[in-house]
């Protein structure tokens, strides 16, 4: 995986974890322990979880599950998985 993507994912995950630690309810619309990419639970594939939980932050194919805007990042071309890909 190219370093720029790894760094973006690591930064996103850190932002998600920080936001979850302060105000988990602000992330509640996107909190799930079922991956919307594979419909599998977090233990079945490679998923990035919010530390200390079974909640998926990054799906098995690298999709950001929680809105970047909800954690202070630009929305970019992120699509809400709850509305379909």
What is the DSSP secondary-structure string of 23-64?
A: -GGGGGGG--SB-TTTS-BTTSS--EEPTTSS-EEE-TTS-B
Res. 3 pLDDT band, cuts 50 70 90: very low
The pTM of this model reads: 0.85
pLDDT of residue 16: 97
pLDDT of residue 42: 65
- Spatial CA neighbour of 33 closest among 22, 23, 44, 25: 44
pLDDT per residue as tens digits for the range 33-73: 999 988 887 665 588 999 999 899 999 889 999 999 999 99
The residues, ordered by sequence, that sit 6+ positions from 49 with a Cβ below 8 Å of its Cβ are: 42, 55, 56, 57
Beta partners for residue 41, in sequence order: 34
pLDDT per residue as tens digits for the range 6-21: 689 999 999 999 999 9
């Amino acid at each position: 995986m190219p370093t720029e993507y790894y760094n973006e994912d690591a930064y996103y995950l850190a932002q998600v974890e920080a936001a979850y630690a302060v105000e988990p309810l602000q992330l509640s619309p996107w909190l799930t322990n079922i991956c919307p990419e594979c419909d599998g639970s977090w233990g079945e594939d490679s998923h990035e979880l919010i530390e200390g939980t079974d909640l998926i932050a990054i799906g098995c194919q690298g999709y950001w599950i929680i809105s970047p805007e909800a954690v202070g990042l630009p929305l970019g071309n992120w699509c809400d998985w709850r509305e379909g890909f």
